[in-house]
Amino acid sequence: MSSLGSNIRKLREKENLSQKDFAKKIGISNVVLSRYEKDERKPDYDMLNKIADYFDVSVDYLLGREEKVKSKEDSLDEVNKLVKEYGIEQFGFFDIEKWKDLSQEDIEEIKKHFEYVVFQAKQRNKQD
C-alpha cells in the first residue's frame, strides 16, 4: 500500500508539475507540499479534497485505499451499467459522451436519483 505523500508526488510528477507550481495552484507553500510528499505532515480534510479534485482521483486513492485511479472509461462503464439496470437505453436523450467527465460522486448521485424514481413508481403502483 502506498502512502499519501508518495501518491501526491506521483500524481504531481505525472502532470509534470514542480512542487512550487502545484503548491501555488492549490494555495499552499511549496514547503508545506514538500512535507506532505515526505509524509511529515498530513493535509486537512479540505486540502485532501482539493488535491483529489485537482488530479481527478478519489480521496481513497490518495490515501492508498484504492490501487487504481478511476479513468473516464470506468465512469462510462458505471453509467452504462446504471442505464441497463434501470432500462433507460431506449431514451433518445441519453448520450453517453455527455457523461464521460462524471466523477464517482456524480455517478453515486445519479444512482440515488434512479433509485428514488424507481421507489416513487413502486409507490404509485401500490396506490393504483
Which residue do the cell numbers 466523477 mark?
Answer: 103
Classify each residue of 22-38 as buried b or exposed e, where b means 16 or more C-beta atoms within 10 Å of its C-beta: bbeeeebeeebbbbbbe
pTM above threshold 0.75: no
Distant-in-sequence contacts of 83-90, Cβ < 8 A, 24+ apart: 85/114, 86/114, 86/118
pLDDT tens digits, one per residue of 72-100: 556 666 666 766 776 666 554 456 566 66
The answer, yes or no, to whether residue 32 has pLDDT greater than 80, is: yes
Q: What is the pLDDT of residue 85?
A: 72
Cell 416513487 appears where?
Answer: 120
CA separation, residue 58 to residues 32, 50, 118, 119 (Å): 21, 10, 28, 29
User: How far is the C-alpha of 83 from the C-alpha of 81, rounded, in Å?
Assistant: 5
How far apart are the C-alpha atoms of 62 and 65, rounded to whole Å? Answer: 8
User: Which domains does the chain show, CATH number per domain?
Assistant: 4-62 (1.10.260.40), 72-127 (no CATH)
Percent of the chain, pLDDT > 90?
36
